[in-house]
């Protein structure tokens, strides 16, 4: 039997991480945020002004701890305004996307009980044969309000719309609705309503 894999794609502020963590808790499978890998590479770049590393190692998943050559990074270092922008910029490069794809394949092989993974191209490019693909969306004003709250007012509406524009219009793996994905509008759904949609659709697979 193929391993369970659920992908959640969508723009920033659509609620992917909240839903992904809730599914992971409910089903007892691993949750992983692919953006964290773009972010850690961006952090390495800002620290060293270089992208030519030899070793990339996930030391622990929960909380996420990563070693790139001799540099160690923790999950809580990765969610800054500067890294929001830099990760989105570097994510345009095909060579960086290839590195992240490899890391995600490793994550999948380590997730013995199954994986729920969120990002921008999880169902369209990285895991096209996923068991269930979700595309989560919400109106721009609602997404902006969520992001601004999550960033403790450090991000502005302009920062968010610029990042969305870049993630949507880039040449390599732009954000799209993956083939076969279930599209959910998350303007005002509760987490229980979202989980209900996911579990019902899982049964149909
Ligand atoms: O989801 P996030 O905000 O942590 O992601 C940070 C950036 O990484 C996002 O603006 C674009 C890039 N990204 C991507 O290109 N593809 C993914 N699957 C996940 C993130």
Q: Under DSSP, is residue 149 helix (H, G, I), strand (E, B) or coil?
A: helix
Please enumerate in sequence order all residues whose Cβ is within 8 A of that of 80, keeping only pairs 6 or more positions apart, or say none: 154
Rounded CA-CA distance 15/19 in Å is 6
39 lines ligand 1 (CB under 6 A): yes
**Mutation pick for ligand 1 pocket among 33, 79, 119 (CB with most ligand atoms within 8 Å):** 119
Are residues 17 and 119 in contact, defined by beta-carbon separation less than 8 angstroms? no
Nearest to 205 by CA among 140, 130, 150, 136: 130
Rounded CA-CA distance 39/32 in Å is 13
91 lines ligand 1 (CB under 6 A): yes
Mind listing the domains of the chain with CATH numbers? Answer: 5-197 (3.40.50.300)
Atom 2, ligand 1: which residue's CA is nearest? 35
- Give the pTM: 0.96
Rounded CA-CA distance 84/65 in Å is 18
CA of 1 to the centre of ligand 1 (A): 30
Q: Read off the pLDDT of residues 126-136 as tens digits, 9 standing for 90 and up.
A: 999 999 999 99
Atom 7, ligand 1: which residue's CA is nearest? 88
Peptide bond into 63 cis (omega under 30): yes
CA of 198 to the centre of ligand 1 (A): 22
> Per-residue pLDDT for the chain (205 aa), expressed as one digit of tens each?
579 999 999 999 999 999 999 999 999 999 999 999 999 999 999 999 999 999 999 999 999 999 999 999 999 999 999 999 999 999 999 999 999 999 999 999 999 999 999 999 999 999 999 999 999 999 999 999 998 888 777 888 888 899 999 999 999 999 999 999 999 999 999 999 999 999 999 998 8
Tokens 């502020």 correspond to: 13
Q: Read off the pLDDT of residues 106-123 as tens digits, 9 standing for 90 and up.
A: 999 999 999 999 999 999
Rounded CA-CA distance 23/133 in Å is 13
Rounded CA-CA distance 56/158 in Å is 33
């Amino acid at each position: 039997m193929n391993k369970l894999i659920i992908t959640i794609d969508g723009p920033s502020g659509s609620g992917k991480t909240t839903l992904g963590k809730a599914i992971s808790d409910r089903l007892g499978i691993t949750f992983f945020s692919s953006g964290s890998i773009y972010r850690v590479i961006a952090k390495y770049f800002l620290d060293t002004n270089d992208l030519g590393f030899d070793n990339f190692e996930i030391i622990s998943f929960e909380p996420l701890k990563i070693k790139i050559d001799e540099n160690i990074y923790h999950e809580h270092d990765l969610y800054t305004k500067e890294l929001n922008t830099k990760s989105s910029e570097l994510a345009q490069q095909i060579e960086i996307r290839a590195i992240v794809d490899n890391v995600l394949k490793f994550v999948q092989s380590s997730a013995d009980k199954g994986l729920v993974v969120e990002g921008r191209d999880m169902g369209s490019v990285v895991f096209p044969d996923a068991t269930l693909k979700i595309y989560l969306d919400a109106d721009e004003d609602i997404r902006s309000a969520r992001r601004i709250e999550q960033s403790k007012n450090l991000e502005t509406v302009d920062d968010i719309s610029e990042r969305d524009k870049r993630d949507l219009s880039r040449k390599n793996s732009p954000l799209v609705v993956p083939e076969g994905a279930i599209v959910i509008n998350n303007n005002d759904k509760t987490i229980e309503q979202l989980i209900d949609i996911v579990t019902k659709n899982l049964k149909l697979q």
